Structure 1
Amino acid sequence: MSGVVTLEAAAWEHIVTATVWHLLHSVELSDLVGSRIYPSYAVQQGHFKAKSPLILYEMTDYQHEHDLDGAAGVALATIQFDVMSNSHSEAIAVANALKAELQGYSDMLHSRDAFNVWLENQSEASEQPDPGSDVTIYVQTLIFNVLHRETSPMLLLPYDLGSKQVEKGIVTYLLSQPSLSAIDNRLFPLRRPQRSELPAIVYRRKSTTEDLDLEGGIDIVQPVFEFEIISDNHAEVYLLSEHLRNVLDGLTGAIGETNTLTVTMLGESEACELQGAGKQTAYYRLTQEYEFMHRN
């Protein structure tokens, strides 16, 4: 499986890869699939072998709970697992082993504290990898929800800035974070230069809502910023997404001498694209959205 991302030790911090780590250490699953548990993009990169049962995984949703004080320290990740085999009975056996390992689980997933894991849905399908071929691939799809504890949100005062300089303050703040040192200074507005190194983060203002006070002046401003983490290493994207969330979600601070800033994560999604026609190298992208609410 050369060319498929090998997860390094640090990348197990993300709840998805922490769950994968747990599955890789299951004796029953190992007897059936060995270590063949890969990101879903492995199929797109041409690494799937029909004779080998395997499991593909993908994060389909990630909800971070908030209360009146900001991030609540609890999150719900939705992970889809696709069991693929050229034997229907084998696909079912692997799916049953996967379900037995995760359904109702409430303990540590590597270094992450899982409160509860439950199966949301299970379905099956079949596909032909080559038109006209007699080879059939059987797919068992299992969708699990993983309710888990998150790192406590940070509390600090970022920078003494006017309310119209929030974007500048975000960039300065993020580039000063040691946990994001892997991007160096590669934090770009709107688009990444084509020849720039990876990993990188692209940010853009997605929307801005302004609430008026009783006199018609702008009181509360709620800009939403989107951060797109880009790498050619799937594990690195997961790791950087966890570090970005740790320094932004629940952040509170001051803008100038009187106005306050509160940051709330709104959502997270991932995608993949091949670097060119016929190529197997891919760019992995994970996008997070945050609301930066502050007084004007």
Structure 2
Amino acid sequence: MTAATVSALSGRDAYRDELTRLAGTDPMVVCLEADLGGKGHPFQAAHPDRFFNLGIAEGAMIDMATGLASAGYKPFVSTFAPFAALRAAESLKLTLGYLAAGVTVVAPYAGVSGAWFGTTHHCLEDLAVLRSIPGVTIAAPYGEAETRAVVRAAVASGRPHYIRTGRNAVFDSLPTGDGEVGPVTWDHRGEPDATCLVSVGEEGTRLALEARAARPELAHAHLTYLDHAHLELAAAELAQRPGRFTVIEEHRREGGVAEALALLLPGREVTGVNAGHGWPTQGGDHHEVMGQLGLDLPAVLAAATAP
């Protein structure tokens, strides 16, 4: 299920394409980029008067988006996750939280998808930062169809959003039935008392699918929306099944989804497979860097099948 078709798009490219399409019928949609657009950004080509390249000025970009939102526009801003969630954290707190401005932040290069770019371009802390800001809808979609659905929902809602994607990896979205993304998407409900894998984001879901292929008896629930309000709904649904839960996420243990679900599922066993506390000290591709942090298929299988 992780193999890409020729025509499929990565999460960040699906975002650009869907936003460009939506802007064709909604003149209030605007796109701001922090020098990531390149020469072939589809939004810039289709709507040049509503595309702004702010350069390496992430905080200023989010502040500018706040002004646009106050004037009735629907601004979408995009930059590397470490620069959106960490460098511009104060602007995020004030814009998305205190002012509840209808700004959507789209953050590619989340986790260690930057790989060879090194620690300065890795971001394993963004969920902890954004989940601590009240009122922000947080999403980590998996696959093109799910990413498009999340972008459509953000445009329609006018609420503050943070959307997390990887770099260039392409995935087939899990079926959602009516095309809308709910609190839980079930890939496989498994045996009644089997461990339930709970996948978060692109790489967490890839690993969960690989683990279930190796151990078909495991259940697998995929979460797209990760803010507190959505996780409360997800926890209520997950609580209906017995057994324990293993959460897989490309994030630090602290402030991640496993910690949140452990609080929302009192009395239930919730374990996590995550990036832990290490810092990658060697180069490598995305999966090699994840492996340095102990986030790989053997770790998932060990946690899910532990006695």
TM-score norm. by structure 2 comes to 0.24
Compare CA radii of gyration and give the structure with the larger one: 1
Higher share of residues assigned strand: 1
